[in-house]
Structure 1
Amino acid sequence: MTGRWPGWFALGVLRFGLSPDAFWALSLAEWRALCAALEPVAPAPPDRQALDALIMQFPDGGGQ
């Protein structure tokens, strides 16, 4: 397996509890539906205000 397949396979087997045969038998629509169930758990990306606060807290310092 190359690319992202090892990670996707591990997610399917370890997180979703699929057998390897069940993982490989999934359609793309089924896989997307399973992965969509994970989305609410992921944090939302920072908004502009949060990014500006981080920039102020951790300035680049001119590459030093």
Structure 2
Amino acid sequence: MSGVDWPRLMRLGLVELGLAPDAFWALTPAELMLMAGGGAGGAGAMTRAGLDALARIYPDGSRGERHDGG
């Protein structure tokens, strides 16, 4: 027995987070926990204030810069 509660993790990913099965199985446990609002240091899920702060630090390019590596 692996000690992993797979039914609970699958319910979290597939039902609560609405992930497609292939997306669920491609995640690492750490990625799944971050999506669920957990993570290192007890940080919670991203809030609107957190998103606004990131947008101020890393604004979208306004001069036609590409962000896709091309």
TM range, smaller chain: 0.3 to 0.5
Q: TM-score, normalised by structure 2?
A: 0.43
Question: For the pair shown, which has the larger CA radius of gyration, 1 or 2?
Answer: 1
Q: TM-score, normalised by structure 1?
A: 0.47
Q: If each structure's helix is expressed as a fraction of its own residues, which one has the higher value?
A: 1
